[in-house]
Structure 1
Amino acid sequence: MGKITTHVLDTMAGKPAAGVRVRLFRGAELLNETVTNSDGRCDSPLIENPSAGCYEIVFSIGEFYHIHGTESPFLGEVPIRFSVEVGQHYHVPLLCTPWSYSTYRGS
């Protein structure tokens, strides 16, 4: 059974990023919108049993850092686009600061 999951780590603070708005799209269709919990994770998968195709997770990083006292964060929304095959688990973590980010396919 496939699914798409994520979590966000604030590498500037060295801890999980709680309260980041996360949206999952397939094309222009919004499939899910949620907020990360105290562990920087979503409480449930963004989607279960996704069909094959291209998906995008949009992380509202600028909003997160602004709320936490960064006056002019360089990053606003961080979109991560990736392709999905049926039956696979895609864990897409985001490691970020107000000025940079990286991602990878996790497990």
Structure 2
Amino acid sequence: MKTLSTHVLDAMTGTPAVGVGVTVTDTSGGTVAVACTDDDGRVTSLATDLTVGVYRLRFDTGGYFAATDVTAFYPEVVIAFEITDTVEHYHVPLLLSPFAYSTYRGS
């Protein structure tokens, strides 16, 4: 079964980004899952049993930075990725700061 998780780290503070809203959408734009990062900046089981296709993770970075009273440039981060394997786990981390972000295929 394919599963999806994420981890958001705040590069400005060097700590997990707690309470970041995360939405998963499928190729048609339909909502697959909605969650918030936990005290470790993680959502360990964001979605399960995903089919092959292109998905998007939308992170509410504007809400996160507003809650911490930080002015930021990106109100959201959207990461598109493709699921191609029927049994792999997919982990998509986000390293976040008010004026930059990066991501990679995690394990």
Fold match by TM threshold 0.5: yes
Aligned letter for 1:97? S
Q: Is the 8 A contact 1:4 1:90 kept in 2?
A: yes
Q: Could you say what secondary structure the match of 1:91 adopts?
A: strand
Matched, 1:5 2:1: no
Structure 2 counterpart of 1:73: 72
Aligned letter for 1:31? V
Structure 2 counterpart of 1:98: 98
User: How far off is 1:87 after superposition?
Assistant: 1.4
User: Which runs of no fewer than 5 residues in structure 1 stay unpaired?
Assistant: none
Structure 1 counterpart of 2:45: 45
Identity within the alignment, %: 40
With normalisation by structure 2, the TM-score equals: 0.94
Structure 2 counterpart of 1:61: 61
Higher fraction of strand: 2
Query: 1:19-38 maps to which residues of 2 (within 5 A)?
Result: 19-27=19-27, 28-38=29-39
Aligned letter for 2:64? F
Aligned pairs, number: 105
Aligned letter for 2:96? C
User: How far off is 1:37 after superposition?
Assistant: 0.6
Q: CA RMSD in A?
A: 0.9
Deviation digits for residues 48-93 of structure 1, max 9, x if unmatched? 12100000000011110111011x3101110000000221111000
With normalisation by structure 1, the TM-score equals: 0.94
Distance 1:60 1:35 in 2: 9
Distance 2:88 2:50 in 1: 9
**Which runs of structure 1 show a deviation greater than 4 angstroms over 4 or more consecutive aligned residues?**
none
